[in-house]
Amino acid sequence: MSNLVASVFALSLVSTPAVVPSWSTYWSSLAESAQSWSAYFAPAAAAKRPAYRPKASEVLLMVQAFYDATTDLQANFTQTYYNSTFRTETVTGGQLKLKKPGMMLWDYAGQAEHDFYADGKKLWIVEHDTRQVTTSSMDENPDLNAAMQFLFGGDRLVREFLVRYAKDDRIQKYGDADHHVLELKPKKKQSRYKGLVLVVHATTGRVDGFTVYNHDGSTNYFRLDGVATNRGLDAKTFKFEVPNGYVKSTVAAEG
């Protein structure tokens, strides 16, 4: 080794102190390595959307096709209502039954909740806790008819709504690897709601959840579980026989 090289080497040893790692540094390094390996082997986060993504309008056609082949439907439902004024959520649930044409039953589990019966022409709103029954014509309930429309699909669903995929925040909230999340906006302004979100099974076109967005900022989210179709539901299921002790009132048609 030349004198110059030896001098530079010696100088480097003197001017750069040897670094001896402390035990705390050693264990910290081990911990970081462990975290890196655990992150490497950890399962990937669940996907929030299906791998294949057709056009939103094509998904809506799948919904139509599913319900065109459906004569009746029953499912358990969980309803989450968000009150925008008080920023509170209320969770209820029960059983939903539908039958063509235009029959519907929302049977809530709690006695304090109203049950809704509709036989295609007449609507019963049943308050078991106060023993009151209110009846009206379904023609006087355009919002209820709209609910039937997007629950049962049909060509009106395609004709009367603008459709697109939901924004990322709603996909994160409602979506998963088996479901598309669509936003529907009525082409004509509706009196009580401004838009809908449908959670659609990617393979079958079945609606497994939906959210109604109201003008006042409140939302109603319904999740459907255990969906069964074409079980031959009796039309009598959708008529409510007022029992003794209940008070019945009728809402007259306007005009």
DSSP line for 138-180 = GGG-HHHHHHHHHHH--HHHHHHEEEEEPPHHHHHHH-BTTEE
pLDDT at 117: 96
Which residues of the chain are modeled with pLDDT < 70? 1-47, 141-155, 253-255
- At 56-92, the pLDDT tens digits run 999 999 998 998 899 999 999 999 999 999 999 999 9
Which residues are within 8 A (CB) of 60 and not within 5 positions of it... i.e. 6 or more apart? 157, 158, 161, 163, 182, 184
Contacts of 233 (CB under 8 A, 6+ apart): 72, 74, 97, 99
Predicted local distance difference test score (pLDDT) of residue 23? 44
CA nearest to 37, candidates 46, 49, 29, 25: 29
What the chain holds in terms of domains, given with CATH numbers, is 56-250 (2.50.20.10)
